[in-house]
Amino acid sequence: MASNKSGGSLLPWLGIAALVILLDQLTKTLILQTFKLNDSLSITAWFNIVRWHNSGAAFSFLHDAAGWQRWLFVGLGTAAAAFIVWMLRGHAGQRLFAWALALILGGALGNVIDRLLHGYVVDFIQVHWRNAYFPSFNVADSAITVGAALLILDELRRVRHAR
């Protein structure tokens, strides 16, 4: 196993990212095989499984653009993935930080794969309360969100320890 100057191996973190990608792509494949576009299955009073195609970014940003956004988001996702791998190489021994990066890496690449295969991202998790619906999302989006929260937690811990 290759280690780096921070005392940790890159391989476990790439493995976590690969597991996120695998889970993300498996769930999206199940949705594509089971549901038609815009189908919805109510699971609880606040949770549905849906099939939604997002050609934009977070919260459907640029979803109505002429198609160029697909390649913009593929490029951004690929560049972010390369940067994250570079960061992991230098910080693999910092567990919380590396967990955060690995989750974000897996999520970013999961959505890049969708854009390359389909031209859109498959979303299927829908949370709502009364008549307020949160935008639909997927496993990759969830991993990115948890990773971002872990980055914030890691920075808060770092600032606290610096005092």
Claim: this prediction has a pTM higher than 0.85: yes
Q: Is 105:15 a contact under the CB 8 Å cutoff?
A: no
The pLDDT-based confidence of 158 (bands split at 50, 70, 90) is confident
User: What is the rounded distance in angstroms from the CA atom of residue 117 to the CA atom of residue 100?
Assistant: 26
| Total length of the chain | 163
Which residues are known to be catalytic? 123, 141
**Digit-coded pLDDT (tens) for 101-128:** 999 999 999 999 999 999 999 999 999 9
**What's the confidence (pLDDT) of residue 2?**
47
**Digit-coded pLDDT (tens) for 33-78:** 999 999 999 999 999 999 999 876 665 555 555 456 667 878 889 9
Instruction: Please identify which residue in the block is written with the tokens 């390359």.
Output: 116
DSSP-derived 3-state class of residue 67: coil
Query: Average pLDDT in the 153-162 region?
Result: 89
Six token digits for residue 4: 């780096």
Of residues 138, 159, 162, the one with CA closest to residue 20? 138
**Digit-coded pLDDT (tens) for 8-40:** 789 999 999 999 999 999 999 999 999 999 999
The pLDDT-based confidence of 150 (bands split at 50, 70, 90) is very high
User: What is the rounded distance in angstroms from the CA atom of residue 69 to the CA atom of residue 62?
Assistant: 7
Q: Is the pLDDT of residue 3 over 70?
A: no
